[in-house]
Amino acid sequence: MSNAIYYVEYKLKKGVSVPDFLQASEKLNDEHISKQKGYISWEQLHDEKSGIWADFCTFETMEDLKAFEANSANPGEPALSFYSYINLPSCRSRHYSVERTYGGAK
């Protein structure tokens, strides 16, 4: 089976502190996301020109990704803190299956 990617684009609310947002992200990762079955990694991307952020979460399988999404339906304190920085109407998410990877560790 191929890995699965949970990709979410969003903008932060105006005036939020990026260091505080990144601290909330780290707490969410450490206390919740990294403990989910099949979790591999979470990368946060940022395009300074457009102000768009993107989360690139990799799971072992699409089944693991969908279970993570279902488990996130009732967010705890770390998730609520993370969401408080995000302009929620700007969020767009997609699921991807990894078809091929070039480069990286072998």
Length of the chain: 106
Q: Which residue has the tokens 């990026």?
A: 18
Residue 32 located in a structural domain: yes
Residue 52 located in a structural domain: yes
Please give the pLDDT value at position 73. 86
pLDDT digits (tens, 9 = 90+) for 54-80: 999 999 999 999 999 998 888 999 999
Residue 106 located in a structural domain: no
DSSP string spanning 36-81? Answer: STTEEEEEEEEETTTTEEEEEEEESSHHHHHHHHHHTTS--HHHHH
Give the domain range for residue 23: 4-97
Q: What is the mean pLDDT of residues 10-27?
A: 98
Q: How far apart are CA 3 and CA 33, in angstroms?
A: 16
CATH code assigned at 23: 3.30.70.100
Where is pLDDT greater, at 1 or 60? 60
Q: Count of domains in the chain?
A: 1
